Structure 1
Amino acid sequence: MSYKVRYTEAAREDLRRLFTFLAERDLRPAQQARKAIAESIKLLQQFPFTCRKAIPDNPLLREMVISFGSAGYVALFEIEGNEIVTILAVRHQREDDYY
């Protein structure tokens, strides 16, 4: 089964913010981070249930850890039925609001 991956506007804004943060310092790591995130998100098209549950009560709300450098990113997503995965947010693991 193949899932369609879509992004909320908030998740798109997260990605823009993360890219801009790195690109202001050096464009190369920003491009590498964007590629690492995109490659990881592709896995959700086939295997969304392999990612950990974000909260124990909801098996459809999950998060994917994306390795990058000494830390990485976390993508929060929801599995909607048998066809759609919606990316809700993307955060760097060192951000203040990362839990």
Structure 2
Amino acid sequence: MSYRVRYTKAAKEDLLRLYGFLVIKDQEAARRALATIKKGMDLLQDFPFTCRKVSPENPFLRVMVLSFGAGGYVALFEIEDERTVTILAVRHQREEDYE
């Protein structure tokens, strides 16, 4: 079964913020980071249940860890129904509120 992956407005803003922060330092790294995040989100089309649950009370709220360089990113998402996965937030692992 293939899921449709959609992004909340906040998640889109997160991606723009993360790209904007990195592009100032290294444009190529910024492009690679977005490619890494996209590859992870593409994986959710087929395997959203392989990611870690946020809490036992809600088995549909999950996080995906995306390795990148010495750190990486964390994507919070919810499996809405049998066809839809919604990305709620994307953070860098070094951000204070990454979880």
TM-score, structure 2 normalization: 0.98
Which aligned segments of 4 or more residues in structure 1 are displaced greater than 4 angstroms? none
Alignment match, 2:98: 98
Amino acid at match of 2:91: R
Alignment of 1:29-48 (within 5 A): 29-48=29-48
RMSD: 0.6
* CA apart distance, 1:54: 1.2
Once the two structures are superposed, what CA deviation does each residue of 1:53-88 show, in whole Å capped at 9, x if it has no partner? 012210000000000001100000000110000000
**Residue 9 of structure 1 pairs with residue 9 of structure 2:** yes
Secondary structure of the residue that 1:78 maps to in structure 2?
strand
Q: Percent identity?
A: 63
Structure with more strand by fraction: 2
Amino acid at match of 1:53: K
Once the two structures are superposed, what CA deviation does each residue of 1:16-50 show, in whole Å capped at 9, x if it has no partner? 00000000111010000000000111000000000
How many residues matched? 99
Alignment match, 1:51: 51
